[in-house]
Structure 1
């Protein structure tokens, strides 16, 4: 059985191998991406360097707790489908270690978030709670996307309210965050539809299927582009039209690619392009 060969415990006891396994198990790329966006927003809203660093640390430890808890909870499922890229499933990281790491990161993000103030802490910890709820069971329900809507809608609020006297963010900031999060949910799940189906996971993207899922993903990201184009008061008419038209055109191209080849790479790459555009605009408009 995967994860049970004699060599697995020895790999887990090797310090370097264990450290590498913990890094891989925390889902480092999306965790760092979310942290960098939060830090960029914090800089744009004028937080002091110390509070920018504190907010970044709170977001990063929250992402660590979500990533580690995901691999901890999913270990048996990952072993069942032969996931060799999951350190807990292969035995490179013992379950007790990943559980301790996830719990420690959770406590750390609670403490760090609380130092930013009640409202900022609530915004950050709502996102962490949504991530844990997803890992603990909502990922297999029709409500899987709601956790991303809530988490990413709340996250960009924190940089605005993390300093005394800071104003509440414009309405479009959490709306764009929620739309980006919803799109990210599909981007995260669609590559694993077949493996998830083998273990009974049927979240919203699974129920919609690959073709419809890509179209919904592109639509959410295009909607974020339109909001970013027309909502900020400082944007010109030409800017609004350009951004909106670009988002809609990319979404149309993504839809065509998804209809033609739902499991092909083109549709997915186009949605990544929309997401990068939206994140860049969100950060720029916050400055």
Structure 2
């Protein structure tokens, strides 16, 4: 396997790092644009990052058998470079962190963010190969700015763009 650094790199690859980082950066930029103070912006960003990790890892965990059967050598879980147990445990830890961090932002914003993450998980587990597969994306990406705006002092609501 190449040692712990290589194993950690393979685990990171299972999290879909490019999209996870992209969404996390967008969350941070939205927090700054919403005039959140830096500590609060970092809390919001941490919740988004944890949610994105849980989404990426759960996606690869869910698809591991299909990826293995289709010969996806680019997928560390499918090619045996990282174990399903480790990815499952990482998913669980990220999901717990997402819940804790989201609710630490506040009940209303936390529910908004957790709903976005739940939509992404619904895509991963049930809606990926269906005609409604776009719905979780629309819900999740629509809720991200609502979460960030609701995290502002006084918990305002996001405009209906």
Runs of 4+ in 1 over 6 A off after TM superposition: none
Indicate if the aligned counterparts of 2:14 and 2:77 stay in contact, CA closer than 8 A.
yes
Once residues 87 and 137 of structure 1 are traced to their aligned partners in structure 2, the CA distance between those partners, rounded to angstroms, is 22
How far did residue 103 of structure 1 move?
0.7
Does the residue aligned with 1:63 lie in a helix, a strand or coil? helix
Once residues 128 and 45 of structure 1 are traced to their aligned partners in structure 2, the CA distance between those partners, rounded to angstroms, is 21
Indicate if the aligned counterparts of 1:58 and 1:109 stay in contact, CA closer than 8 A.
yes
Indicate if the aligned counterparts of 1:116 and 1:163 stay in contact, CA closer than 8 A.
no
Question: Please, what TM-score do these two structures have when normalized by structure 2?
Answer: 0.96
Show the counterpart of 1:85.
74
Deviations 1:140-168 (A, max 9, x none): 21111111111111111111110331421
Indicate if the aligned counterparts of 1:124 and 1:155 stay in contact, CA closer than 8 A.
yes
How far did residue 28 of structure 1 move?
0.5
Q: Which runs of 5+ in 1 are unaligned?
A: 1-10, 173-287
Once residues 29 and 148 of structure 2 are traced to their aligned partners in structure 1, the CA distance between those partners, rounded to angstroms, is 9
Indicate if the aligned counterparts of 1:78 and 1:89 stay in contact, CA closer than 8 A.
yes
Q: CA RMSD in A?
A: 1.1
Counterpart mapping for 1:22-171 below 5 A: 22-171=11-160
Does the residue aligned with 1:52 lie in a helix, a strand or coil? helix
How far did residue 23 of structure 1 move?
1.1
Higher relative contact order (CA 8 A, sep 6+): 2
How far did residue 64 of structure 1 move?
0.2
2:2 equivalent to 1:18: no
Does the residue aligned with 2:131 lie in a helix, a strand or coil? coil
How far did residue 85 of structure 1 move?
1.0
Show the counterpart of 1:271.
none
Once residues 156 and 9 of structure 2 are traced to their aligned partners in structure 1, the CA distance between those partners, rounded to angstroms, is 41
Counterpart mapping for 1:215-226 below 5 A: none
Once residues 126 and 6 of structure 2 are traced to their aligned partners in structure 1, the CA distance between those partners, rounded to angstroms, is 30
- Matched pairs, number: 161
Does the residue aligned with 1:155 lie in a helix, a strand or coil? helix
Higher Rg: 1
Question: Please, what TM-score do these two structures have when normalized by structure 1?
Answer: 0.55
Counterpart mapping for 1:171-210 below 5 A: 171-172=160-161
